[in-house]
Amino acid sequence: MTSAADTDPSPTDIRTDYLAQMRQKRMLNMILLLIFATLMVAGFYTADQRNAGGFWNGWRHILDFPADVVGEAYERAHLLPGYFVKYLPSLLETINIAGAATLIGAMLALVASMLATRGLAPAGWLIAPVRRLLDILRAVPEIVIALVLIFLLGGGPVPAMIAIALHTVGALGKLFSEVNENASLKPVEGLASTGGSWMQQMMLGVVPQVAPNYLSYALLRFEINIRASAILGFVGAGGIGYDLRNTMSWGQGKFDEAAAIFLLLFAAIVIVDQLSSTFRNRLTHGKAYKDKGAVL
Amino acid sequence: MTDVAIYAAADRSLTRKRMFTLAAPAVILAYLTYVFIAFDVAGLADRVSLSNMQTLVSDTYSYKVHVTRDNRDGATSVAIEGERKGEYPEGTAPDWVTLSDTTRVDLANGAFITLGDTTTFDIPGYGTVTATPGRSGVNATFPPGDIPEWINASKNRVAITADGARLTITRNRTEVFRYFYGWELFFFTLDSPFHGKSVTELLSSGQYGAIWSDFWSNKMWRHADVAWALFETVLMAFLGTFGAAMIALPLGFLAAKNFTPLGSLRFAARRVFDFLRGVDGLIWTIVLSRAFGPGPLTGSLAIMLTDTGTFGKIFSEALENVDDKQIEGIASTGAKPLQRYRFGVIPQITPVLLSQVLYYLESNTRSATIIGAITGGGIGLLLTQAIITQKDWEEVSYYIILIILMVMAMDSFSGWLRRRLIQGTGEGTH
């Protein structure tokens, strides 16, 4: 693009050069945008073709099911409090699955992240394999592990808990090790000089530095895991998702119980999201920080 | 403050810290104990199905060939995994089976079985077992001595488990399973002329088109269907993520304090985001699949709805953090409002937005697998189908490997795209 390197370019040359460059850049952006638009349109067309019911027939019925559910819930609104009480234990189970999985996953991730961080790992050759292991754990969707475990262990909350915990190890392990990389190594060296074991160096030298960030990430994971736990219930792993599938299968005229479960799940997700985002803001910005709803 | 007071304050603070370091693990332990009791983890040992585990593990690395003799009409058939798709054509058999009136089956280590009206099993180091199935059951004779534990004999059924093989005799049927390592018929099924050929033979044959079409239409592994299912899953993630980003961008402006002075409008936009996120992908999937039926469109729209809420929140926060100076600079050149947005705002937020969207592309590939398993579509559907049959565990392993590779590929692709598109800002926020 520097065509006039041997002679001093005149202002008009610079101007035409600049405009040509701009035109080229715009052309490139236009082409990229066009490709993107074509991909989107073609993609939606393909998806529509492959779907059992097409979009153009379906969108008119999109409110049928919600209308049924809301209508039936409204008709038998006096029964809803009873249903809330009835399904509260299931909701608790869903939350417990997420809670236990997050705790177990976070504790394993803590150890794994230390092993995967340069400068903290007790042996250098450990770093690469641990990182690959975390990558794999992160890549496996929870449902895959859960379905296999349901086959082995039977239905119930334990397969879901293990499945979510394993995915959590992968997800948090990576985030934790990113946090570890920013931790100061001086306390670790200090502890090493007094003869502290690796475990002591990590627990006393690193963890206090990174604990707020860890906690913040773990809380975010907990929010995600509640949703995952509800979904896994739907494929047979207990909790409120399992009840939801059962009540849905009873069909029309019985949707009031499904409505109660929808409401419970919605309320649980919103409340946990709010609580955890308040806590996370405190952790990362101190108490004075006003809730701006920061994502991370 | 006196020294004493300072010391006292320090002591109190230390005591509190000490209490906390002891209390936190205790609380965690108490909670986990409660959960383990509530989930009946102790009773898990009774519920765990060891035979299922054995099937799963052995199926993953090996397969079996069934040699079956129908004892009523004397017909003998050979089929891989006992499936019709893996049946050897009438009158043909692998080289370790000699078909005749009394079929001879050679097993590894010098053992062999003859299948006829009377079945004999020569086991080196033990002796010959003879069994004649008839009206009154299975009359079996064993070598003298105690019957070992790998032989299970009753009046109507004799089962012998030997090294790498298994023989079952009942009144109606005599069946030999021989186990082999690997995944059966992965490349070509038995009806393909290319079955059993080596790579060099295939390469030198020159019939690449026929080879490819035989591989691609493999009835056992359905490579074409699997590839299409993977594509469908990626398509769901792609359409859902970018569709949501396109809807969330204008809505994000509505929810940002510095672009929408009208409080009520801002409040409404934010509640819409909260609602979309709070209802959650599971419920959106259920609602949408009622209207559109199973398939990739339902999955795409479910991802799109959930992520519109997430992106709306992220985008509006990014918009609230834009630097006003750039917008003022653009305005000072006489730019109209639309131009101010185009040149003052968009360049500032593009890196943040793009890196978030690309990050979600990878996570949505996983969501698309899960949604596919719930509504039916993509690789998630194939996986659940394979698990429900409870016998094609080698296919389950195959799909799991493919899913892991797909997610990892999407992860590296989105990372690569992020670096290409956001030069200079490095890795992005995640």
Supply the ipTM of this predicted assembly: 0.83
**Residue A192, min C-alpha distance to chain B (Å):** 21
Answer whether A234 sits within 8 Å of B384, measured CB to CB: no
Contact A52 B293 (CB under 8 A): yes
Give the whole-angstrom CA distance, residue A161 versus residue A166: 9
- Which candidate in B241, B270, B274, B283 is best for mutational testing of the A interface (most A CBs within 10 A)? B283
Query: What local confidence, expressed as pLDDT, does residue A106 receive?
Result: 95
pLDDT confidence bin for B282, thresholds 50/70/90: confident
A80-93, pLDDT tens digit by residue? 888 899 999 999 99
Give whole-number Cα distances, B83 to B77, B78, B165, B189, B247, in Å: 11, 10, 18, 12, 49
- pLDDT level of residue B22 (50, 70, 90 thresholds): confident
Q: Is residue B273 scored above 80 in pLDDT?
A: yes
Q: Which of A265, A139, A296 is nearest to B310 (CA)?
A: A296
Residue ranges of chain A whose pLDDT lies below 70: 1-7, 285-296
CB interface of A with B, residues 230-249, below 8 Å: 230-231, 234-235, 241, 244, 248
CATH tag, B223-421: 1.10.3720.10
Confidence of residue B27 (pLDDT cuts 50, 70, 90): very high
Looking at the complex, report in whole angstroms how far the Cα of residue B338 sits from the nearest Cα belonging to chain A. 18
Convert the pLDDT of each residue in B391-404 to its tens digit: 778 888 899 999 99
Q: How many CB atoms lie within 10 A of CB B16?
A: 10
B30-82 pLDDT per residue, tens:
999 999 988 888 888 888 888 888 888 888 888 888 888 888 887 888 888 87
Rounded mean pLDDT, B312-327: 87
Residue of A28, A35, A51, A225 to mutate for B, most B C-beta atoms under 10 A: A51
Q: Retrieve residue A258's tokens.
A: 């499904």
Interface contact flag, A59 B291, Cβ < 8 Å: yes
pLDDT given for residue B1 in this prediction:
63
**Contact between chains at B280 and A40 (C-beta distance less than 8 A):** no
Is 50 exceeded by the pLDDT of residue B425? no
Q: What is the pLDDT of residues B321-363, one digit of tens each?
A: 888 888 888 889 888 888 888 888 888 888 888 888 998 998 9
Whether B404 contacts chain A with CB within 8 A: yes
B426 pLDDT above the threshold of 50 = no
pLDDT at B429: 41
| Residues in B touching A44 (Cβ below 8 Å) | 239, 297, 300
How many Cβ atoms are within 10 Å of B111's Cβ, its own excluded? 19
Q: Which residues of B touch A103 (CB under 8 A)?
A: 28, 31-32
